[in-house]
Structure 1
Amino acid sequence: MFGTQQRGVNAYAKVGLETGIVSASPHKLIVMLYDGALVAVLSAQMHMNSGNIPEKGKSISKAIQIIDNGLRASLDKEAGGQIAEGLDALYEYMSARLLAANIRNDLAMLEEVQRLLTDLRETWNAIGATPAAMPGADLKRMPSLASA
């Protein structure tokens, strides 16, 4: 009558995600995009291993959408210069590899994209952890960093 418990859990999770998105910094939003793409790629790997072709295709499509419509679309090529151009080319490569992995049912291609996304996510997190990237960071109060 009132729905399943799973539907309630999903609704609660959706509200939590939407709240996180609204309150997230631009840096955190990129991390969330990397996380979403990684989850989709891992899901595709799981479905590929189990032989669930329709779900594998859905997961790969989701990863491609996140990469193309999230990560690539967020690049500012004017302000980002060569770095943004390089990331754009890498995102295009990853999307092409995901498409080929789907067509060929190639787990190695999915693993390659997973490694690339993981490396980019870790690098992005490292950038966000630097004092210059933190709002209100004052290097004068951090003598070990100010003298470096």
Structure 2
Amino acid sequence: MNPMRALRQYQKVNSHAQISEASPHRLIQMLMEGGLERMAQAKGAMSRGDIPQKVVLITKAIDIITGLRQGMDESKAEDKVAFQRQDSLYEYMTIRLTQANAQNDPEIIDEVARLLITVKSGWDEIAPQ
């Protein structure tokens, strides 16, 4: 058996186990971690000149941010202004990642990663309920 294939299969099973046992709070953390990981991988693909892989990875990061945005529930938001700001921030992140993809610009990816790290650090401070 191919050791890399075995490792990927293990990671897939381990990932599914983590997801099935995770609280909603932890799932959001995992999504943010996944988005940051995809952005870092996209930058690596850019530096290698692997355009097809860069496109796939940036698209995955955009999909994750879109999922975070769609998962927000305005009806449960105590602060409507904060909700709107968060929604606008996620929208901005997706626009900027699209620009990073089109312009092949790793600095834009860094900008979005810093924004997502800021959001994630705030989320990490919130105790799961």
TM-score of the pair, normalised by structure 2: 0.92
* Matching residue of 1:43: 41
Whose relative contact order is higher, 1 or 2, with alpha carbons under 8 Å and at least 6 apart?
Answer: 2
* Matching residue of 1:73: 70
- C-alpha displacement of 1:86: 1.6
* Matching residue of 1:7: 5
Mapped to 1, the partners of 2:92 and 2:63 lie a distance apart of 14
The reply on whether 1:113 has 2:112 as its aligned counterpart is yes
Mapped to 1, the partners of 2:34 and 2:63 lie a distance apart of 10
* Matching residue of 1:97: 96
- C-alpha displacement of 1:55: 0.9
SS at match of 1:75: coil
TM-score of the pair, normalised by structure 1: 0.81
Mapped to 2, the partners of 1:44 and 1:17 lie a distance apart of 21
- C-alpha displacement of 1:12: 1.1
Mapped to 1, the partners of 2:65 and 2:20 lie a distance apart of 20
- C-alpha displacement of 1:50: 1.9
Mapped to 1, the partners of 2:87 and 2:2 lie a distance apart of 42
- C-alpha displacement of 1:51: 1.4
CA RMSD across the alignment: 1.2
* Matching residue of 1:141: none
- C-alpha displacement of 1:85: 2.0
Alignment: residue pair count: 127
Q: 2:15 aligns with which of 14, 17, 27?
A: 17
Aligned residues with identical type, % of pairs: 39
- Structure 2 spans left out of the alignment, 5+ residues: none
